Amino acid sequence: MARRQSRVRKDDEDVELNMTPMLDVVFILLIFFIVTAVFVKEPGIQVERPETTTQERERPTMLIAVNAAGEIWINRSVYDINEVRPQIEQLQSENPRAEAMIQGDLGAPAGTVLDIQQLLIEMGIPVTVSTDEQGF
């Protein structure tokens, strides 16, 4: 008796789904989100800022804090006034369109804040001084 062929044909090969294109798309999306993400910069200390009657919301890419003792904080590290320029140049090389904000403590030496502001202006970096909104 002859053996009847089944209507369902079985191949010796297993069917495999190629995941390479999907992984390519996932990695491209991951790279896109990493490149376009805006990371929050922190100076490293909490300062008590002077009060003002008006305040605009700014999104600086560089935060520089000066505390009451006259210490200059950038990226969670303390720097001397002479060490600030190289640190700012490094941050500017990472982001050529950088904008800076100085957070000066209420008791911070005004001369130190003004020296940093002058340095940023000389380097061509837009700079603002952070203040707290005065409560009424």
49-88 per-position pLDDT tens digit:
666 655 556 677 888 999 888 899 988 889 998 899 999 9
Among 58, 46, 40, 45, which residue's Cα sits nearest to residue 130? 58
Q: Which CATH architecture has domain 51-133?
A: 2-Layer Sandwich (3.30)
Strand pairing class (62-66; 100-104): parallel
- What is the C-alpha to C-alpha distance for residues 63 and 47, in angstroms, rounded to an integer? 12
Provide the pLDDT for residue 116: 92
Provide the pLDDT for residue 75: 84
6-65 per-position pLDDT tens digit:
566 665 567 778 888 899 999 999 999 888 887 766 777 777 766 665 555 667 788 899
Among 82, 74, 133, which residue's Cα sits nearest to residue 100? 74
What is this structure's pTM?
Answer: 0.57
- First vs last C-alpha separation in the chain: 102
Where do the structural domains in the chain lie, given as residue ranges? 51-133
